[in-house]
Structure 1
Amino acid sequence: MSHQPSRVLVTGAAGRLGRAVLRELADHGVSAIGLDRADPGTGHTADFVHGDASDVDLVRSALSGVDTVIHLAAIPTPEFLPPAEVFVGNAAATFVVLDEAARAGVPRAVIASSFSITGLPFGPPSLRPPHVPIDESSPLQAADPYALSKQADEATAAMVARRDGMTVTPLRFPLLGWPGETNLADHAALYTRDPAAGISHLWTYLDSRDAARACWLAATAPLSGCNPVFVTAPDTLAPYPTQELVERFLPGVPRRAPLPGRAVPVDLTAARTLLGFTAEHLFALGVA
């Protein structure tokens, strides 16, 4: 059944996506409490708790009066910290947040998973998708601690759904971009010069405003159980036909469906049918 949040705990609330989610919640008139190790600054409508999402006592206290959790806190890459810190930090934070939420009787949670769960972005350069378009049932090929931590996160989500009846939706986010920043423009320029640079991400992206809206939809849609969902823009960041990219850079990879125009090589059926989500903010190639 559908769910109407009244008070939401947002972990990683001082991050760029966290701030976008807080704005989304405020737009819907929903009270929020943020949890983050960083100072969130000003301009937020939420109350804040400063600390780590793996701190059991802190999380337990922050969950008072909460009926929905949006868990975004994570080390977002395996590139800069020791592997054990990346894996253990992410897996521990997700376990603590979901386990404590379940014990507190919270019925609904959304967690930030990642396109990187596929293993492609940080795996060996020779790694290729098992087929295109990929979907939520595609085999995962973790070869780095971040991808492995996201598999652990989704396994934790499935555990609390099974054990406690909580509805948990892991959202598999791709490269995100924020208005006023050049992240998407920089990657689009890179993929224009060197389309091979986008192979590991399958040239995917998503505007942060759409990412925040996906979090809201996952928190409110008529769902049950644990349902991982890829959420991306329906087009790629590369200015070339997707079919040509696949033929050139993914030879031998089985193709399960047509990829007309610049269609993203990710099956977005689950996003549409489970969440009612379709990205609204598409990147205009050549425009920052």
Structure 2
Amino acid sequence: MATAQRVVVTGASGKLGQFVVEHLVESGYHVVSTDRVPPPPGSPGDFTIADLTDLGQVIELLSGVDEGRAADAVVHLAAIPAPGLATNAATFRNNVPSTYNVLRAAQVVGIRNVVTASSETVLGLPFDVPPPYIPVDEEYDVLPQSTYSLGKSLEEEMAKHFTRWDPELKVAALRFSNVMRPEDYANFPGWQDDAQARRWNLWGYIDGRDGAQAVRLALQAGFTGFEAFIIANDDTVMEGDSADLAAEVFPDVPLKRPLQGRETLLSIEKARRVLGYAPQHHWQAEL
């Protein structure tokens, strides 16, 4: 019987991390999860507390010195997860060195399969400066508008160079949209009378279960090198048609192609094409 792939998941106690750990365990992976705080009681997988700003701890974690077996892959979700939750300096000081340490530790240990959480914010959120076109995609240069987003942009740039140094390395940077739990959908009806309320991310979201699916597909993907993927649901948080939303709120932004129904304005075409990503959970079906 084949040994299950050992995957280290950082940020495992976070909103998305809990979905990812559960999904990977259910999918047959041996998950070693880590965070600064424990996950809820009864969470699956093996858990250990680690400070990712300490390179030595990250190397020890990925090399599996206590388990006698190094990890086969790492999913790096740990971060201060949004602007405004800490001072800008504290956010940068935590997030960017932690990602460097994960990439460096993977290099030292010989891990060549890395999935890392980037962010939709690198696309230019909160779009006070309108996007270059709609739907937005991975084809234009990053446009960070906050220190948090700047950090995510620099983390993607670091990953590009780590893969340049090691042509066998794969780093998939998943630009997650606003993560939602099923219970969060009770808030969605309250947004319907004001198109401006969620303009800041083009009315996008990602169900945590679909975010976990994207992580698994990225782990399984066969490419090498660096690739960034927008990960959002295929609909918006609004009940109205996406073309009408775009015309009302961003009338001067060109459409890259005609919009159909309530489709997402955060293009997931690349994730569909390369990863086989297909969202399964939609907010209207949960209410």
Band the TM-score falls in, shorter-chain normalisation: over 0.9
Name the CA shift for 1:190/1:127 in 2 (closer, same or farther; >3 Å). Answer: farther
Give, as a single letter, the amino acid of the residue that structure 1 aligns with 2:94: G
Partner of 2:262: 262
Give the whole-Å Cα distance in 2 for the aligned partners of 1:172 and 1:101: 21
Please tell me the residue identity of whatever aligns with 2:97: A
Q: CA deviation at 1:282?
A: 1.2
| Residue of structure 1 equivalent to 2:73 | 68
1:243 equivalent in alignment to 2:243: yes
Q: Which runs of 5+ in 1 are unaligned?
A: none
**In the comparison of the two structures, how many residue pairs are matched?**
278
TM-score (norm 2): 0.92
**1:147 aligned to 146, 149, 163, which one?**
149
2:177 maps to amino acid? P
Give the SS at the match of 1:109.
strand
Provide the identity percentage. 34
Show the 5 A alignment for 1:217-228: 217-228=217-228
Other-structure match for 1:104? 109
Distance, in Å, in 2 between the alignment partners of 1:5 and 1:216 is: 14
Given that 2:123 and 2:136 are in contact with CA atoms closer than 8 Å, whether structure 1 keeps it comes out as no
Task: Quote the residue 1:83 is aligned against.
Answer: 88
Cα drift, residue 5 of structure 1 = 6.7
Q: How many angstroms does 1:222 deviate by? A: 1.6
Distance between the aligned counterparts of 1:68 and 1:80, measured in 2? 29
Q: Which residue is 2:210 aligned to?
A: 210
* Residues 158-194 of structure 1, C-alpha deviations (whole Å, 9 max, x = no match): 1211112310000011111113x22x331x2343021
Aligned to 1:42: 41
SS at match of 1:193: coil
Runs of 4+ in 1 over 4 A off after TM superposition: none
Structure 2 counterpart SS, 1:171: strand
Q: Secondary structure at the match of 1:8?
A: strand
Cα deviation, 1:42-69, whole Å, max 9, x if unaligned, reads 2233222212222111111111210100
Q: CA deviation at 1:91?
A: 0.7
> TM-score, structure 1 length as denominator?
0.92
1:1-288 matches, within 5 Å, as 6-64=5-63, 65-121=70-126, 126-165=128-167, 166-179=169-182, 181-182=183-184, 184-186=185-187, 188-284=188-284, 288=287
Using a 3 Å threshold, how does the CA distance of structure 1 residues 185 and 201 change in structure 2: closer, same or farther? Answer: farther
Q: Which runs of 5+ in 2 are unaligned?
A: 64-69
Q: How far apart are 1:119 and its partner, in Å?
A: 2.5
Distance (whole Å) between structure 2 residues aligned to residue 245 and residue 41 of structure 1: 39
Is the 2:59–2:108 Cα contact (8 Å) retained in structure 1? no
Listed one character per residue, the Cα deviations across residues 193-242 of structure 1 (whole Å, up to 9, x for unaligned) are 21111111100111101100100000011211110000111111111111
